[in-house]
Structure 1
Amino acid sequence: MEAYAHIFFQIAIPLVVCPTRNSLAQKIRSSRLITLAFQEQQMVQRHVTFATVFGLFATLPLFVAAQQSANSGQSAQVATNSGYSQAPTLEGGNGVTADIAEDDAQTRGLIEVRPLKGTLQPWFNFKKRLNDNIGLKLNFSYQGLYQHANPTLTDVKDAAAVRGQIQGAWTLLGRDTTNPGILTFRLENRNTVNRDIPPTSLGLQFGSVTNTGTGFSDFGSAMTELAWRQTLLDGKFKFVTGKISAISWYNTYALSSSMRGFQNTGLQSSLSKPAPGRALGFGIGIEPHPHFVAVAGIHDANGKTTDNPFNTIGEGEFYYSAEFRYYPTTPDRWKWDSLKFQIWHQDQRVNAGTSASTGITFQASRLFEDRWYPFVLGGISDGNASIFRADLIAGLGVAIDTKNRVARDAFGVALGWGNPSNDRLQDQYTAEMFYRAQITRAFAVTPAVQFFVNPAANPKHDGAVVWSLRSRITF
């Protein structure tokens, strides 16, 4: 509603305060411009209304079913390599604590080489002792992504990059209690491999405003997280402060991770909200009821992931967010079964030339029979702080069991529509399909294809296709 009010005042105020010294011709000309602007805004409103109504109605079957079978299909206890527990987290798939637990889960690969089966066990035993003795959990991973686009506006059609990371969660206070204090960190190295550009720049070659290769840039080495996480009141109250992500906390779902799920940024969460870099921030989470959680935060709106976080905090321009969540089942299924509504506001960014903006997002998902995972999300906003003024994403994830094994293979498909906040750009439609195959216990590959219809900044081409292959090894 605030977005509609903003549009109303943009149109109404010039009519009321039109200077009397203007000639009749000037007034007529102004009236025509206002009429055109109004017609354009009406078109946007129709898109926004459709997106919002569709999104809300699409959530109803998910949550009716959730209420009818809240206790069905409970996930079995997951076996681990190093004993890292999978406690419920308030972050999305790219969070440090979620990443560590996810990578420690035991899996079976398509290829089981018996002589090599126990090769990593001494390493896992060492990590377990480290955690048991001093409360430090460690995780190492190395991933690569190659992408090919066609057609493009330039001669550049290929992009490739690798990403190595070391991350940890060190429980320094309250170990083995319900109120731990944890220091989390992530050190990354990202580099282009034998190509002119990394995958994060490939979309620009054919006019896409969404990133085709999220997380695979070439900034070199950087500490991308260093934060303190504290739990209080027996887990009912949590807070985090330090250099953190403003993206992975809000409007995410189980396939948002750029290392395990969809690669296109526009399908990982709503881009009707801003996307500041990893920088100084503070967030809280409150659980007043087992089915209800509220998460709120304040983040440096000018933060850049590779910069010193204290370089921009003094500008005093912030991104504020509050998200209200309903979990219809149990905490071990928070990752899959959720309904979220976010309200956000970002201050004017003077140097960046973006106005103060406000918006809302929603997300709904439900896991059926521990296999079928439909989801829908989107949002609306005013101003130009975000890529899209309005967007809507819907899709399906499917867990795949292959012969004689239960693995982490997964299929995902999603379709997204976005109306750019820049009025000079056209609406863009994006789709992606991927299959994540667990080749061995520690190695996975993900072939994928992305389709683009009417790339927002490219009126010369009706569409483009991006083929990609992602690999990931964890230990």
Structure 2
Amino acid sequence: MKSPILALPLLLLSTSLDAQGRGLSGPSSVESELAGDGLTDPQPRSDFPRNIAPGYFAWKDRLAENGLRFNLDYFALGQWSDSELGQGDAAGGLLRFYGAWQATENGSLTFKIENRQAYGEVAPQFFGFDSGALSITGTAFNDSGTLLTNLFWTQRDPEGRWTIQIGQIDVTDFLDVYGLVSPYTAFQNLAFNTNPTINSPNQGLGIAAGAKLGENFYAVGSISDANGDPSEPDFDVFETGETFKSLEIGYTSGGDRIYFDNIHLTFWQSDAAEDGSRAEDKGVAFSAAWFIDNTWMPYIRAGRSEGTAALYERSLSTGLGWYRRNTDLAGIGLNWAEAKGFDDTQFTTEAFYRFNVSPDFQITPSIQYISNPLLSPRSSDVTILGLRARVVF
């Protein structure tokens, strides 16, 4: 057994993003979802649901002025496959309550509680497997029940030079992120979310922090519980010493564009489980994305791992995002992947259009095409149609 000292969720290096102190905030983090991207020029089609509960939203705004910001949102995702295998369809829902309390000038407490449910026999997260593809086609839409995915303290340097987080953290909030990484607002397939070659743990105890390295360079790193279980948060990492570590070095055009204009290299390592359920895993990932004229976002992402726990051993993705002034978003992604234990390769394409009825109500149709699905050698391809909806209160 490792020393408990080595199991301490130590320090993570990261950037302070702007004067409001977003800290370690990718697109799917609480801070980013509360603040918005701050770059696009929204022209909403409707005020729904604000127009049906103006008193409630006015109350929320007053709380925000006093340092407490929060959202309650609900997602529904349905997917349909043309595969001859499995159920043929999957659906699930996701209810989240999340927010941040600005307790001091440079310190805040972030929280997020989720309830994830499948509507039928198969949850969208596992629908790719059910359809014969080695693919997570509905990232985050599983059947895990009630989860504590965030409960951490953030401390920021007054001059924006560093940020530290400690507590129940989600490493995918800041690990290898780019502008289209969020499964709640952009791509649904894991191939285009957090790199599918990274064996990122579930949410658990950890520390995250960071530093700016001059005007444009930054360093991000983490140590967290490799066995995190947000359904039953615990301190077992102090006993087992099994941790996940990451270090990222990156370049950005400016702190307020940290995940829009970004080129970075990420190194990571995850300890083996003492009970033999997980081998040691490690790897490296590369990502480059740039927001051109605040409209177009071309990207290329790659990764390689050496263990057995990540979905893919090697992966290469590229694609394009298109932001419209009313905050609609369209995206297309192409992925090539190799997995341990398979002699062949799998190709995945996803395209989606996020239609913003209002800033708080979105509908996103999508299509995923998987060529040479690895779990179904007799099939040449699988097509999955999806429809995701989100409402925020």
TM-score, reference length from structure 1:
0.74
Q: Where does structure 1 lack aligned partners over 5 or more consecutive residues?
A: 1-84, 175-179, 401-405
* Distance in 2 between residues matched to 1:393 and 1:282, nearest whole Å: 29
Per the alignment, residue 375 of structure 2 pairs with 457
Per the alignment, residue 188 of structure 1 pairs with 114
Give the superposition deviation at 1:306.
Answer: 1.7
Q: Rg larger in 1 or in 2?
A: 1
1:98 partner amino acid: S
Give the superposition deviation at 1:87.
Answer: 5.0
* Distance in 1 between residues matched to 2:230 and 2:380, nearest whole Å: 34
Aligned to 1:411, which of 326, 330, 333?
A: 330
Worse overlay, 225-234 or 316-325: 225-234
1:469 partner amino acid: L
Per the alignment, residue 125 of structure 1 pairs with 58
Matched, 1:432 2:357: no
* Distance in 2 between residues matched to 1:473 and 1:212, nearest whole Å: 21
Worse overlay, 116-125 or 441-450: 116-125
Asked if 1 retains the 8 angstrom alpha-carbon contact of 2:124 and 2:137, the reply is yes
Asked if 1 retains the 8 angstrom alpha-carbon contact of 2:114 and 2:146, the reply is yes
Asked if 1 retains the 8 angstrom alpha-carbon contact of 2:225 and 2:244, the reply is yes
CA deviations on 1:160-213 (whole Å, 9 max, x unpaired) are 111111101011122xxxxx11110001112222x2121112111123232111
Per the alignment, residue 13 of structure 1 pairs with none
Per the alignment, residue 74 of structure 2 pairs with 142
Per the alignment, residue 378 of structure 1 pairs with 302
Closer/same/farther in 2, CA of residues 415 and 89 from structure 1, 3 Å limit: farther
Structure 2 counterparts to residues 53-452 of structure 1, below 5 A: 88-102=22-36, 107-111=42-46, 118-133=51-66, 135-154=67-86, 156-174=87-105, 180-193=106-119, 195-311=120-236, 314-327=239-252, 329-400=253-324, 406-420=325-339, 422-424=340-342, 426-452=344-370
* Distance in 2 between residues matched to 1:209 and 1:352, nearest whole Å: 23
SS in 1 for 2:102: strand
Asked if 1 retains the 8 angstrom alpha-carbon contact of 2:82 and 2:384, the reply is yes
CA deviations on 1:245-294 (whole Å, 9 max, x unpaired) are 12232111111111100000111132111121011111111013121111
* Distance in 1 between residues matched to 2:110 and 2:20, nearest whole Å: 16
The aligned length equals 375
Closer/same/farther in 2, CA of residues 464 and 439 from structure 1, 3 Å limit: same
Closer/same/farther in 2, CA of residues 141 and 335 from structure 1, 3 Å limit: same
1:185 partner amino acid: F
Closer/same/farther in 2, CA of residues 459 and 141 from structure 1, 3 Å limit: same
Per the alignment, residue 62 of structure 1 pairs with none
Greater helix share, structure number: 1
Closer/same/farther in 2, CA of residues 149 and 363 from structure 1, 3 Å limit: same
SS in 2 for 1:127: helix
Answer 1 or 2: higher relative contact order, Cα 8 Å, separation at least 6. Answer: 2
Closer/same/farther in 2, CA of residues 86 and 413 from structure 1, 3 Å limit: farther
Give the superposition deviation at 1:148.
Answer: 0.5
Asked if 2 retains the 8 angstrom alpha-carbon contact of 1:238 and 1:285, the reply is yes
* Distance in 1 between residues matched to 2:73 and 2:53, nearest whole Å: 14
Greater strand share, structure number: 2
Q: How many percent identity over aligned positions?
A: 29
Give the superposition deviation at 1:441.
Answer: 4.1
CA deviations on 1:448-470 (whole Å, 9 max, x unpaired) are 00010112222121110110000
Give the superposition deviation at 1:358.
Answer: 2.3
CA deviations on 1:4-45 (whole Å, 9 max, x unpaired) are xxxxxxxxxxxxxxxxxxxxxxxxxxxxxxxxxxxxxxxxxx
CA deviations on 1:214-259 (whole Å, 9 max, x unpaired) are 1111222222211111112522111111111122321111111111
Closer/same/farther in 2, CA of residues 441 and 316 from structure 1, 3 Å limit: closer
Asked if 2 retains the 8 angstrom alpha-carbon contact of 1:106 and 1:441, the reply is no
CA deviations on 1:137-171 (whole Å, 9 max, x unpaired) are 111111110001121423x0111111111101011
Q: CA RMSD in A?
A: 2.3
Closer/same/farther in 2, CA of residues 369 and 107 from structure 1, 3 Å limit: closer
* Distance in 1 between residues matched to 2:237 and 2:374, nearest whole Å: 30
Asked if 1 retains the 8 angstrom alpha-carbon contact of 2:41 and 2:326, the reply is no
* Distance in 1 between residues matched to 2:346 and 2:198, nearest whole Å: 16
SS in 1 for 2:331: strand
* Distance in 1 between residues matched to 2:284 and 2:154, nearest whole Å: 26
Give the superposition deviation at 1:348.
Answer: 1.7
Closer/same/farther in 2, CA of residues 251 and 424 from structure 1, 3 Å limit: same
Give the superposition deviation at 1:330.
Answer: 2.4
* Distance in 2 between residues matched to 1:267 and 1:313, nearest whole Å: 33
* Distance in 1 between residues matched to 2:88 and 2:128, nearest whole Å: 10
Asked if 2 retains the 8 angstrom alpha-carbon contact of 1:426 and 1:455, the reply is no
Asked if 2 retains the 8 angstrom alpha-carbon contact of 1:280 and 1:313, the reply is no
Q: Where does structure 2 lack aligned partners over 5 or more consecutive residues?
A: 1-18
Give the superposition deviation at 1:112.
Answer: 6.6
Asked if 2 retains the 8 angstrom alpha-carbon contact of 1:251 and 1:342, the reply is yes
Asked if 1 retains the 8 angstrom alpha-carbon contact of 2:24 and 2:163, the reply is no
* Distance in 1 between residues matched to 2:322 and 2:381, nearest whole Å: 27
Give the superposition deviation at 1:320.
Answer: 0.8
